[in-house]
A and B are shown apart, each in its own frame.
Chain A
Amino acid sequence: MRILLVEDDKDVSGFVAKGLREAGHVVEHADNGRDGLFLAASENFDAIILDRMLPGGVDGLRLLETLRAQNNQTPVLFLSALAQVDDRIRGLKAGGDDYLTKPFVFAELLARVEALTRRSKNEGPQTKLVVADLEMDLLARGVKRAGQKIDLQPREFRLLEYLMRHAGQVVTRTMLLEGVWDYHFDPQTNVIDVHVSRLRQKVDKPFASPLIHTVRNAGYILQPETA
């Protein structure tokens, strides 16, 4: 994946670029808004990681608004120290696809960037999700594994749907909290783990190979074991 990183802090940008390259992505870096806008407008990227407060006269919001005005739909993730609810709303309204506040955990950033690019690829409406022998019918709201019907509660269904839509990608607990429950706070208890483990009981336990895996210090991934 080709990712543009617009970030003026040398340490942060160096750390992010290194991590993204290690994960197998190609990273272009701009350390001010003007260069960032030039790169974003003139070349093709799969995703843009954008700081809000940038030197060079063009801040992150302006950059994104200009880009969207040119009908450039490259997915954008804001990475900003502006953490208030209003800041987040403003960022998303300007056309941002996701908003992550500093300080951040790299695994969270990586998972969200990869989720962004996946989201932009699957534009058309889907009626069926398939991962290995697990099938989800989105219209009839039914789930089958190896031809065997699995009964799920509505929330469990949405949790599995989220995991299947991001199959092969790491999803963090925060992403699940926001994507499945639409909660924007940090529960002090291991609630997400409990819900995932319940889902595992139904989806993985009766079958030979597990599909839902725990990724240490990051979150979960749904993928066939051989992959």
Chain B
Amino acid sequence: MREAAPAAPLAPALRAWLWWRRRFVQRFWLPGHWLPGRWRRPPLLRSAGLRFASLYAALFGLSALALIFFLWWDTAALLDRQVDAAIRADAEGLSERWEAGGPAALVVTIRDRLAENVDDDAIYLLVDKDRQRIAGNLDRWPPGVAADDDWYELPIVRDNIRSLARVHTFDLPGGFHLLVGRDVEARVRLRHVLTDALLWALLVIAGLGAAGALLVRSVLQSTLADISRTTAAIGAGDLSRRVRLSGRGDEFDHLAETINDMLERIGRLMDGVREVSNAIAHDLRTPITRARARLEDALAHATSAVDLRAAIERAEADLDGIVAIFQAILRIAEIEAGARRSAFAPLDLAPVLADLAEFYSAVAEERGIAFAFNAPPQLPVFGDRDMIQQAVANLLDNALKFSPADGAILLAGECLGNTARIIVADRGPGIPEAERRHVTERFYRGETARSTPGSGLGLALTQAVAQLHDGTLTLEDNAPGLRAILTLPTRRHGDA
């Protein structure tokens, strides 16, 4: 406070400046929108809308200025030319009179012309060789004007009124000098008016430009605000938010659609992650509990080394089962994440299916199940060989698992337009219609399947593979039995 004392008279101004500065800084410069998870209007001076609008206003202003300047320059030049032409015409007339009647005639003519001059803007002065006035409406020869054939623009005093004149001097024979001119005060005034108008126009342009800038900014901002708010909310964890579409189908709508698509995908991935963690939490708990119970039971009750050994071996088998489930969950997650899609390539499924048929028909034969295979000589698809092999193998595993001793299994491939269909049909118990929708969910096991071994992940994996390939897995009634149809596109998605 002591330092401020000498500046006491300045204090109010200083205070005002500081107050204004604080407000300005807070309003326009503080990066409040950088706070995580919250969206705020960006500071005015950093707004992209303002930048675009300013650019537009500057262009608009420049073109308006150019137009005005051109008008001004043209008008002023025209007036100048008119004055010069009038003076020349006057001088010509007077010189004719001089030639015709000498100084006396010239004096009469000057008087006549002055009398006829209604605008009172004509200036004449005829002087003798001593620069004494003979005729005209100027009191004396203006100082600084040489008596030769030349143009001047000079201040004059006429009837005690100061004014500005443009004059031309002529030397006449006999030492006479003639001065012909026009009072250009009015023209100067006009030029001033034009200059003023120009300045006012500048102000108006600046004002209109600023208003336009603010308008453009607010339009841009209101259009972008929803996108910003939505993405900020998503960033803060609310994955259910979506950007609203204006319905105009403009660039912003396209942007909003793209963002919404992206959000859908993120949502699906998040659901997948949640499902996996739920699956691990719920469905691995059961076999782990079982394994733990067996070990604890053996520890408490086993009386011989043989019993202990048996318990350990069972626990080992349990753990292997848990690992298998775990690996299946991770494999599905890996497939659903879509990272392998970059490794997709065109491939012929016919030999792949033939190999699988040969591989599994041995088992079918051993169990007395009839195994039929048919496929065209070529069955092109676009995808990942290992994944499709695994998907079909899962279907065949299921078919074998649920087929009765005298059953029949069909593995068929067929080409239907732009898709390849792989059909695995059996004559087992099938899946009731109400359950079919659920069997591709992770860990779902149908009523009839509860008694058979398996993780309940086979169909879920096949489904994931189908989805990754932009294909489908449909389950139908084979009357009796199940008919699983895996449909895959023959070409890359988007290719003609």
Write the residues of chain A forming the contact surface with B, with a CB cutoff of 8 angstroms: 83-86, 103, 105, 155, 181, 183-191, 194-195, 197-198
Contact = CB atoms under 8 A, between A and B. Distances in A.
A189 B366 contact: no
Contact of A185 (B323, B355, B366, B393): B393
A188 B458 contact: yes
A184 B363 contact: no
Nearest to B461: A185
Contact of B363 (A85, A86, A186, A190): A190
Nearest to B355: A181
B14 to A, nearest CB: 61
Contacts of A86: 339-340
Given A86-B339, A188-B401, A189-B401, A183 B393 contact: yes
A197 B359 CA distance: 13
B32 interface: no
Contacts of B212: none
B397 A189 contact: yes
B366 A194 contact: yes
A77 to B, nearest CB: 19
Interface size class of B (residues with CB under 8 A): 20 to 34
Given A83-B327, A184-B386, A189 B363 contact: yes
Main secondary structure of the interface of A (DSSP, over half): loop
A190 B401 CA distance: 11
Contacts of A155: 358
A150 B82 CA distance: 123
A196 to B, nearest CB: 10
B269 interface: no
A191 B360 contact: yes
B400 A189 contact: yes
Contacts of A183: 359, 389, 393
Contacts of A188: 394, 397, 401, 453-454, 458
Contacts of B359: 181, 183, 191, 195
Interface string B304-341: 00000000000000011001100100100010000110
B327 A198 contact: no
Given A84-B334, A103-B323, A185-B389, A191 B362 contact: yes
Nearest to B323: A103
